[in-house]
Homo-oligomer: A and B are copies of this chain.
Amino acid sequence: MNRTDPEGAIAAAAARCSNAGRWGADDVLGTLNFLDGAKRVEGARLVRRGAVFSLAQPFDASGPQNGWRRRTNPVHTMLDTGLDAERGQGFPHGLGGADDVVFMPLQCSTQWDGLGHIFDHGTAYNGRRAGEVVTSEGDQVTGIETAAARIAGRGVLLDVGSVIGEDGELPDGFAITTEHLAATAAEHGVEVGRGDLVCVRTGRLSRARREGWGSYAGGPAPGLSFTTADWLHRTEIAGIATDTWGFEVRPNEFDEAFQPLHQVAIPHIGLFIGEMWDLDELAADCAADGRFEFWLTAAPIPFTGAVGSPVNPIAVK
């Protein structure tokens, strides 16, 4: 890989990995097309104990965001409280109520990137012009609502942090390669294939939990190597998520770059990418019972026209 030519590398990977047109000119689902009913039936059979895991971080003012690019943490405020109820709110027969509102960037915490989130030279997924897809009124073609009833299927955990890292964690700047992914899957005894939802644990969130957020949101991190683009394409997975803010390794593997793997994965592969997922409790359970596959539901809130969405992914084993 030529560290000095990200543009060339991106163009080459895009040419090799593009799914543009694969599901027709009108397609808005990208790799979610790989996730079909048969895969869901397969996934549901993985429920053996009924053990359930939320893969979401807490959504609150203590989160990782620091205001960069106007990304704040969620600000949750009350319209009414129990204190108001005790004082009296004007309702009859002793009824009292509490109600609340939130302001939040849609990608401030555990999330899915929508297909309108990233463009390559002004081109969005499936060869559309970026400016025809996402205007100030939102993503008018591939808004996250198009994925509202899709993301439930077989989940696979690849705990690269535990298999490859030390004490369960990879260091910042560690680029996870196809070889690392394969070695982890082999160690876990799982296979990754068409229609799967892959969760890659790096251990970065475990470290943030221990040491504080620091630059968790937007800073250095372990993550997928740019060289995994072909694997992401070839495996025909439906989606992939990590416990880091940005999915791919940071700093990136070119001298001057910003999220080059996104530039291939989203507009060309049409891949659904999850970020800031909390995989620690699930990973501990998988290590304990030796089963790294599970039923996973990760349904975005269908904000019309959104280019991403908060999500509370639920794994059941």
Contacts and interface: CB of A to CB of B under 8 A. Distances in A.
Interface of A: 6-7, 10, 36-41, 43-45, 47-54, 56-62, 66-67, 69-87, 91-107, 116-122, 124, 129-139, 145, 148-150, 152, 254, 256-260, 262-263, 295, 297, 299-308, 310-314, 316
A301 B56 contact: yes
Nearest to A124: B82
A62 B72 CA distance: 12
B85 A131 contact: yes
Given A39-B50, A74-B303, A129-B82, A105 B97 contact: no
Given A79-B77, A82-B131, A103-B75, A54 B149 contact: yes
Contact of A119 (B73, B95, B101, B121): B95
B98 A53 contact: no
Given A51-B37, A129-B86, A149-B54, A107 B99 contact: yes
A270 to B, nearest CB: 16
A105 to B, nearest CB: 5
B74 A77 contact: no
